[in-house]
């Protein structure tokens, strides 16, 4: 049975939280993360059986990096800038993007 987009987003939000540990994330920050990257997630759905573990690991790492950035700033809540700052490094590991897209994302 093919994966459902909303169910996958819930799985990825759970993975983000596992990475973030006790840290909370603002709902609008998570919404933006998944809305801005919906095309990548949708592409992964075409073979979710094969890609789910890699995506889960990447989003868990993103949660961990974002939480670390927020904590370094003295905050207990992850905001969008924390996630946005960590996205290029995290997505840079993802084979789901072309090299051109990775380079452009890292330049922002």
Which residue ranges make up each domain of the chain? 5-106
How many other CB atoms are found less than 10 A from the CB of residue 47?
11
Q: Distance between CA 41 and CA 60 in Å, rounded?
A: 15
Global pTM value: 0.83
Q: Distance between CA 48 and CA 53 in Å, rounded?
A: 9
Question: Residue 104: what pLDDT?
Answer: 52
Question: Residue 94: what pLDDT?
Answer: 72
Report the chain (108 residues): mean pLDDT per 10 consecutive residues: 81 94 95 91 86 90 96 97 93 64 49
Question: Residue 108: what pLDDT?
Answer: 46
β-bridge mates for residue 25, sequence order = 78
């Amino acid at each position: 049975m093919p994966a459902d987009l909303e169910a996958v987003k819930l799985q990825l939000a759970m993975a983000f939280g596992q990475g973030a540990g006790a840290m909370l994330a603002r709902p609008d920050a998570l919404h933006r993360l998944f809305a801005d990257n919906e095309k990548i997630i949708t592409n992964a759905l075409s073979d979710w059986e094969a890609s789910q573990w890699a995506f889960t690991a990447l989003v868990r790492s993103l949660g961990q990096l974002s939480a670390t950035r927020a904590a370094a700033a003295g905050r207990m809540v992850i905001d969008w800038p924390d996630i946005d700052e960590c996205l290029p490094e995290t997505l840079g590991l993802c084979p789901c993007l072309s090299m051109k897209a990775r380079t452009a994302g890292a330049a922002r």
